Every structure is written in structure tokens, then in C-alpha cells.
Structure 1
Amino acid sequence: MTTVTDPAPKPTPGRALNITLWVVQILLAALFAFAGINKLLAPQPEVVEGFTRIGLGQWFRYLTGGLELAGAIGLLIPRLSGLAALGLAGVMVGAVFAHVLALPPVALAIVPAVLSVVLVLIARARWA
């Protein structure tokens, strides 16, 4: 007769890494909540014009704002934080393409590009 032992526990991130991840997630949640609410409730004329220049209409502004707000909430829920980070990374990749293709100057694409990398790293860490 053989005895079954529990497999080795899955390694978890260290305490410092976990705290750092939560601090970054909270800051990003605040950023995306602000951006999402701004797109949904009180868009600045530049935002409305930008979405018009993209060519998808204002419904896309509402969709983007809703995704940003949902992602911000998801970043604060432990079970959803990895998925939310990945979803927001997708939104940021879309923002990079929008800036490169339709919203000059192209240099503004740097911010969503950096955010997408940070969000992918968060998703990876939360699913590790």
C-alpha cells in the first residue's frame, strides 16, 4: 500500500512582492477608475474629438470607459485581479494602436505601452 502525500505547495510571491503588487494595483485602479468615469460621465472635448478621429463613434468611448471602470474594480478583487490586469492591458494595446494610427503625436503612445507592460506583469504575478 502506498501513501499519497500532498504535492509540494505552490510557491507564492514573497511578502514584499505581494505588498508592492497591491500598491501598484491600487494606484492603477484609481487611475483607470478616474479615466473610465471621465469617459462615461464628464468627457472633455478633446476626449470626444479623439474618439471621433478614431472613427468608431462615441459608443466606443462608452465601451472604453466601461472597460476601464470594470478593470479598475477587478484590480481590487483578488480572484479577478489577474484577469482584470490582462483585460486592461488589452485596452492599453488598443490605445497604443489608436495613438499610432489616428491620434498624433505618436509619442503619446508611450504611456499606454508602458501601462500595458506593467499590467501584463501584474497578471503574470497574480497567476503564478
Structure 2
Amino acid sequence: MKSEQKPSKAMNITLWTAQVILAATFFWAAYMKLAQPAEQLATMWPWTKNNEMLVTLSGIADLLAAIGLILPGMFRMLPQLTIYACIGILALMAAAIIFHVNRGEASQIGINIFVAVLAVFVVWGRLRKAVIERK
């Protein structure tokens, strides 16, 4: 039987910090993909050239991830959506790693691995250590 244990304040703060870092990263990525001109993006990210639909879809996914990391827990409404957002982030990072490796850009996957590790930490913490209870 599972004992009822109050989550530590430090763990909750650490998880929220990880969530905010992830959300900021995904808000930035969404802004870049959805608000910047295609020509400007292509100078920074060559893969975006002639891939406007991919850029738009990944921008929308980034925006949804950022929202899912913060709002459900903040308002305590459907907090499990944060877990689902992190699982989506893991799928996105796996796809990004495969994409970069296939393009010969394996040296660029460090950020993808870091983001994936943070997402795994949030899933673990929100499922096991500092569950956000629904209102």
C-alpha cells in the first residue's frame, strides 16, 4: 500500500524550474518557427528551406508543449496534461535526434538529449515525487 507522503518543497521547486526551462525553450522555438520570415530561418536552420509545412507543424507542436508544461499545473486543472506534454516532447526529441543524425548533424543533438533528460525528470517527478493534485 502506498503511504501518503507530502512532496518536499525543494523537489516541487526543482520540478517547476525544469518545467519553466523547458517551456521557455519551446516558446522560443515556437516563436522562431511561427513568427520569423522563412528566409531568415533558412539562414539559421538550413532544413527549414522548402519545408514550410514541417516548420509550421513543429512550431505548433512546440507551442502546445510549452503551454502543456505550465498551465495545467498552474491552474491545477488536468495536471496530467503536463505528463502528456513531456511524453510528446520525448517523441519530438527522438524524431529530432533521428533527423539530425540522418542529415549528418550528430554533433547538434546535445540540446535534444538535454531537453529529453529534463522531460524524463519532469515525468518521473510529477508521477512519483511531487504530484500536482487536481482542484
Establish whether TM, by shorter chain, passes 0.5.
yes
Q: How does 1:5-20 map to 2 (within 5 A)?
A: 9-20=3-14
Q: Where does the alignment leave 5 or more consecutive residues of structure 2 unmatched?
A: 74-78, 129-135
- Does residue 101 in structure 1 map to residue 98 in structure 2? no
Contact 2:42-2:49 at 8 Å conserved across structures: no
The match for 1:28 is: 22
Query: Normalised by the size of structure 2, how large is the TM-score?
Result: 0.76
The separation in 1 between residues aligned to 2:7 and 2:35, in whole angstroms, is 38
Q: Distance in 1 between matches of 2:23 and 2:91?
A: 15
Q: How many residues are treated as equivalent by the alignment?
A: 118
Equivalent position SS for 1:127: helix
Give the equivalent residue in structure 1 for 2:118: 118
State whether residues 48 and 58 of structure 1, in contact with CA within 8 Å, keep that contact through their aligned partners in structure 2: no
Shift of 1:64: 0.7
Which of residues 43, 47, 66 in structure 2 aligns to 1:46?
Answer: 43
Q: Which structure has the higher relative contact order (CA within 8 Å, separation 6+)?
A: 2
Higher Rg of the two aligned structures:
1
SS at match of 2:94: helix
Q: Which residue matches 1:4?
A: none
How far off is 1:12 after superposition? 5.0
Distance between the aligned counterparts of 1:88 and 1:31, measured in 2?
Answer: 11
Q: What residue ranges of structure 1 are gaps of 5+ in the alignment?
A: 1-6
Structure 1 runs (4+) deviating above 2 angstroms are 7-13, 46-49
- 1:29-83 CA-partner distances (Å, limit 9, x unpaired): 1111011111111052235631348xxx321111111001110011002212111
For 1:63, which of 57, 60, 83 is the aligned residue?
57
